């Protein structure tokens, strides 16, 4: 971040950035614990993740307020304004990731209360979850270091996640067609898989905001090659 004449302005920008990283760490932990809960059927972990949703929501609201007050008081321009606007969008994505983690735990709770002690296709679910978590970790690392090149790689990772998700989706549909008794259970698993795929999408969105902050260009609807070119280009 650039240094300003007003040290208070710098302190406020750094406070916003630090709060985002704190929220990001909590949300990432939620997703990891949600996957742990699926594997272990641990109701304590399930309930903990669900309860953490209120804290994530509170952090989202606080950061939105900080950004609004920053705009009103400081009237930031150029890279500072991009930072504030990107933070508003990124914390919204983080809040949605937290929602998905809590929803996965709610779905797991339904499965386990129905007497299912092990989630079917768990290894496949864990595989795509690890991909989504890698994407989230990389997008957050890019945010922390303001690294556009690292951010650009997240979009490429998303293509692989989408491929793996579609393959799992086909498998689950096949099971339902072969044995209609599995439909309810497989629909729950399919919902969990879709939630994980969406977490990957939100990670991509955060990485796109990083590129916007660093490079000043909106890459949300650009191809991978175009995103790479923007990320690697020198600023004029």
Digit-coded pLDDT (tens) for 155-167? 999 999 999 999 9
pLDDT of residue 3: 53
pLDDT of residue 157: 96
How far is the CA of 51 from the CAs of 45, 54, 106, 194, in angstroms? 10, 6, 11, 22
Instruction: Give 8 or 20, the one with higher predicted confidence.
Output: 20
Structure tokens at 144: 């922390």
For residues 15 and 74, the answer to whether their CB atoms sit within 8 Å is no
User: What is d(CA 137, CA 143) in angstroms, rounded to the nearest whole number?
Assistant: 10
Of 103, 94, 108, residue with least CA distance to 40:
108
pTM of the model: 0.92
Q: What is the CATH number of domain 7-232?
A: 1.20.58.220
Mean pLDDT calculated for residue range 64-70: 94
Largest CA distance in the chain: 69
pLDDT of residue 218: 94
Structure tokens at 47: 């309930």
User: For the ranges 79-88, 112-121, 223-232, which has the lowest average pLDDT?
Assistant: 112-121
Mean pLDDT calculated for residue range 174-193: 91
């Amino acid at each position: 971040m650039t240094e300003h004449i007003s040290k208070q302005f710098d302190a406020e920008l750094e406070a916003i950035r630090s709060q985002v990283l704190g929220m990001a760490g909590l949300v990432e932990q939620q997703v990891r614990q949600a996957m742990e809960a699926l594997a272990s059927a641990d109701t304590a972990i399930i309930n903990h993740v669900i309860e953490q949703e209120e804290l994530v929501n509170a952090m989202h609201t606080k950061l939105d307020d900080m950004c609004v007050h920053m705009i009103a008081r400081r009237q930031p321009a150029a890279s500072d304004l991009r930072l504030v606007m990107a933070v508003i969008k990124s914390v919204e994505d983080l809040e949605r990731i937290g929602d998905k983690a809590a929803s996965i735990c709610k779905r797991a709770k339904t499965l386990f209360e129905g007497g299912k002690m092990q989630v079917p296709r768990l290894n496949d679910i864990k595989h795509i979850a690890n991909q989504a978590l890698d994407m989230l970790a990389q997008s957050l690392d890019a945010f922390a270091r303001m690294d556009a090149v690292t951010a650009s790689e997240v979009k490429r990772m998303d293509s692989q996640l989408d491929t793996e998700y579609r393959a799992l989706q086909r498998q689950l549909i096949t099971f339902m067609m072969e044995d209609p008794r599995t439909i309810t259970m497989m629909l729950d698993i399919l919902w969990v898989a879709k939630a994980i795929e969406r977490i990957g999408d939100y990670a991509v969105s955060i990485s796109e905001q990083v590129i916007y902050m660093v490079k000043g260009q909106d890459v949300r609807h650009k191809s991978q090659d175009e995103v790479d070119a923007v990320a690697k280009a020198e600023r004029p």
